[in-house]
Chains A and B, each alone.
Chain A
Amino acid sequence: MGGENRYLGLAYLSPYIVGLLVFTAFPFAYSFYLSFTDYSLMSSPEWVGLDNYTKLFTRDRTFDKSLKVTLIYVFSTVPLKLVFALFIAVILNYKLKAINFFRTAYYVPSILGGSIAIAVLWRYVFADTGLVNMVLGAVGIEGINWFGDPTNALFTITLLRCWQFGSAMVIFLAALQGVDKSLYEAAAVDDANQWQVFRHITLPLITPVIFFNLIMQSVQAFQEFNGPYIITNGGPLKSTYLLPLYIYDKAFRNFEMGYASAIAWILFTMIMVLTVVAFWSSKKWVYYAGDKRS
């Protein structure tokens, strides 16, 4: 590229580069600095070294609780959601009547799912006098305290997340349709049953997409905010108090920006470590077409 063209290219890229630096890179780096400070917004950040991190791991019971709840939430939501999304994708991969209608219908919740309106709706559906308890009552089962009982509240929030399986499902569906049909024909010749075909042909061939969905869904689950904020506000007894809620409260209710930044960096580190572990483990279970190991 000639000199002038290079500058022109950079000029075209500059809005993005400036945006990235100002709105992403700088806040990212600055929050790391803030995590070592005591900063209430109303005065200059005061360097406190590792105090925030020490407090988080030794004296903050709320953090312990929130961390535990977040891990339970992620490790229960992600597998459930992926299995369910794959199951529905397999069904929708069959040539059924009105298949496009069903594909659209199953995708709709994921368009609406992250919205405040759906969280409000969820609150009414699972309230003590809500739809679910009405149905249970109609079949003679006593209503359940979904939100008031700490053991049920997280499950209710988890269900909302699983209900938003549409985007993962659509990606699975695209992967299923990309599997080479000749492999199925060969399996039919060998008299393989449907489970054997799925287990030994379909599943290995879509592992790159399973891996992609696993990473994306895990990152999103770690960042969940709307559902628990609107439905239970983190309660009862902090049983739905995910780390993003704790970060929000510390930053914008208590104005402890340094402390909130430290929590945010712990959350980031957890996501990072789990992603690295997932990438490392992928060598053992993800199959890429053309891979020399195959």
Chain B
Amino acid sequence: MKSTATFLTILAAATALSASVNAAELRMSWWGGGSRHEATQAALKICGEKYGHTINPEFTGWKGYLEKLTTQLAGGTEADIMQVNWPWLPLFSFKGDGFADLNSFKDTIDLSQWTDAQLDAATMNGKLNGLPLATTGRVFMFNKTVFDKAGLDLPKDWSELIADAAVIQEKLGEDSYPLEVTEDNPVLIIMLIATQRTGKDMIDPATNRMAWSLEELTDAVKFYGNLVDKNVTRSWKSWASEGNIKLYESPKWSDGKIAGSYEWDSTYFKYADPLEGKGELVPVSMLKVDGAVTEGVYRKPSMVFSISKRSENQKAAAEILNCLLTEKEGIEALGATRGLPASKIAAQTLMDAGVVRPELVSANKIVMAGTGPTVSPFNEHPRIRESFKDAIEMYAYGEFSAEEAADEIIYNVNDILEKYDQ
């Protein structure tokens, strides 16, 4: 009896010692709102307890997160686990060496829960730099109530939408428009049109240069100009008259004066909530131009979880990531606070539990079903986006012709990309 007790004591001590040897203290950083913060902290507590690690949360709002992350990465003080926006991957890790290569942890992380395409999108120079959290894309959403009032069905292609604009203006007033093409949308719509007509993404993956010719881009710019001329959307100048505000904050949106937009599927409720009781927001299939060779869906991982290449506890961090994204307790605690999960088991678990609202699933299905070339993360490079937008603004204000705007865009995009030549 005495020997059994001694044996059990030694065993217990050894187990405790083993747990404390494996226990790691980690840091994790992310951006988001209140619900995401709460859910993530709860999930970290559960996963931390499961694996015997302590994870210190570091969370902020979206604004300033990129600046903070960049400063931390530059100073080598980044958290062990980081939430990284997908278009930032080439900024931090163009050669794939900015973050830990998660392929090294395939024994710890169940990578089979992601499709090859999803993993490819998060792979830089052959190294898996992050685990995609959700796949998102731009989708057209229309206020069906406004279209009903005008006696119209929701549009199925661009020519129908252009024809609808005249009817909406006639029946609902000259300050009514079926679509909002302002802020970032002139850029995204021009990209969409050029992609639909050419079948190519803006950046040629083979050369890492602008894929569209001057003529192709000029035609797409003109298409945007035509949308303004035909009152499909209000002009840039008219939009700017409201000051620097978001569409979903504008009374023109909530009052139905603007009856549609082209937004991330995951932001559906941001636009639907202001219409509550006044309108029904319906996501529709991609609108196509005549002669389109593809739907040109703009689909990409919304964000990834990455592990610091400097972390001394990479394996522990990998265990936590696996728990958050592929294990039941982590998935349930994290919920849908980062959109419909990219991880198959996470998506299924949340849908079975009824956590993901059907409207979000419906918008996401359109994105997932759409056809189009793989989108380069350079499309959202801050300088590329800014120079594209500046040129289109000049066009919108009559300072540039369509051809001059296209020429300016091509020159600037190539100039920026040139800096990334290996």
Query: Which A residues are within 8 Å of any B CB, using their own CB?
Result: 41-42, 62, 123-124, 126-129, 145-150, 153, 230-233, 235-238, 249, 252-255
Contact = CB atoms under 8 A, between A and B. Distances in A.
Contacts of B70: 41-42, 252, 255
Chain A contact residues: helix, strand, loop or mixed: loop
Given A41-B71, A128-B242, A236-B236, 9 more contacts: A41-B70, A42-B70, A42-B73, A123-B243, A145-B240, A147-B243, A231-B244, A233-B244, A253-B386
A237 B399 contact: yes
B243 A42 contact: no
Number of chain B interface residues as a range:
20 to 34
A147 B393 contact: no
Contacts of B67: 252
A232 B237 CA distance: 12
A73 to B, nearest CB: 17
Nearest to A232: B244
Nearest to A133: B241
Contact of A147 (B92, B241, B390): B241
Nearest to A229: B244
B238 interface: yes
Contact of B382 (A231, A236, A253): A253
9 contacts: A127-B245, A129-B251, A147-B240, A148-B241, A232-B240, A235-B240, A235-B393, A236-B393, A249-B386
Contacts of A145: 237-238, 240-241
Interface of B: 66-67, 70-71, 73-74, 91-92, 98, 236-245, 251, 382-383, 386, 390, 393-394, 397, 399
A255 B394 CA distance: 24
B386 A127 contact: no
B254 to A, nearest CB: 12
Nearest to B94: A42
A249 B85 CA distance: 18
A124 B74 CA distance: 39
A23 to B, nearest CB: 15
Contacts of B243: 123-124, 126-127, 147, 231-232
A58 to B, nearest CB: 15
B382 A254 contact: yes
Given A148-B240, A148-B241, A42 B397 contact: no
A123 B245 contact: yes
A192 to B, nearest CB: 49
A149 B386 CA distance: 20
Given A42-B91, A255-B91, A128 B241 contact: yes
Contact of A42 (B66, B98, B236, B390): B98
Given A42-B73, A253-B382, A255-B70, A149 B92 contact: no
B224 to A, nearest CB: 16
A175 B414 CA distance: 59
B382 A148 contact: no
Nearest to B64: A252
B244 A42 contact: no
Contacts of B236: 148, 236
Contacts of B91: 42, 255
A233 B386 CA distance: 13
A127 B397 contact: no
Contacts of A249: 386
A214 B363 CA distance: 57
Contacts of B66: 252
B242 A147 contact: yes
A42 B74 contact: yes
B383 A254 contact: yes
Nearest to B237: A148
A119 to B, nearest CB: 9
B92 A236 contact: no
Nearest to A149: B237
A261 to B, nearest CB: 15
A280 to B, nearest CB: 39
B237 A236 contact: yes
Q: Which of B70, B242, B244, B390 has the most CB of A within 10 A?
A: B244
7 A-B pairs closest in CB distance: A148-B240, A148-B241, A123-B243, A128-B241, A41-B74, A148-B237, A233-B244
B397 A150 contact: yes
